[in-house]
Amino acid sequence: MSGLLKPAIEGPGGARLLRRLDYSVDILGGGPAVHYPWQYREFSGIMVPARRRVYVRNPDGSRVRDSVPVHIGSTDATFSWEHTMRVDGVAPLLPAPDDPALAAS
């Protein structure tokens, strides 16, 4: 199966974008699934697939063609950044590098 599909496509600036993801779905009792993302869009500088389809996967890696796929569509995405650092087992929350509070110090 690996010879039939490339695992990544080329995005802006030569970035490698996910084309297919095979995994086990916990809500299906660990059943095999195949996830096809496409129509990538940029949100806050991060490439995100605006469209996705998830199918049940056969043992040979192919999708079950008569399965009802899950369709996922994204029209907007927001990202936040948090960084934690462990000190003696305590994880204090640190501000993001572009936090205005850092500019004052």
pLDDT at 99: 52
pLDDT of 105 reads 44
Residue 40 forms part of a structural domain: yes
Contact 92, 85 (CB under 8 A): yes
Count of domains forming the chain: 1
Give me the pLDDT at residue 4, please. Answer: 41
- How high is the mean pLDDT in each 10-residue block of the chain (105 residues)? 51 78 79 89 86 90 85 85 59 53 49
Q: Is residue 2 part of a domain?
A: no
Are the CB atoms for 75 and 86 separated by under 8 Å?
Answer: no
Q: What is the pLDDT of residue 24?
A: 85
| Global model pTM greater than 0.95 | no
Is there a domain that residue 53 lies in?
Answer: yes
Asked if residue 30 belongs to a domain, the reply is yes
The Cα angle at residue 30 between residues 29 and 35, in degrees rounded to 5: 120
**Residue 53 buriedness (CB in 10 A; 0-12 / 13-18 / 19+):** middle
- pLDDT on residue 44: 82
Bridge partner list, 43: 46
pLDDT at 5 (0 to 100): 46
Residue 38 lies in domain: 8-104
All residues at 6 or more sequence positions from 2 whose CB lies less than 8 Å from its CB, including other chains: none
> Quick check: is 3 in a domain?
no
Q: Report pLDDT for 3.
A: 35
Domain membership of residue 52 (yes or no) is yes
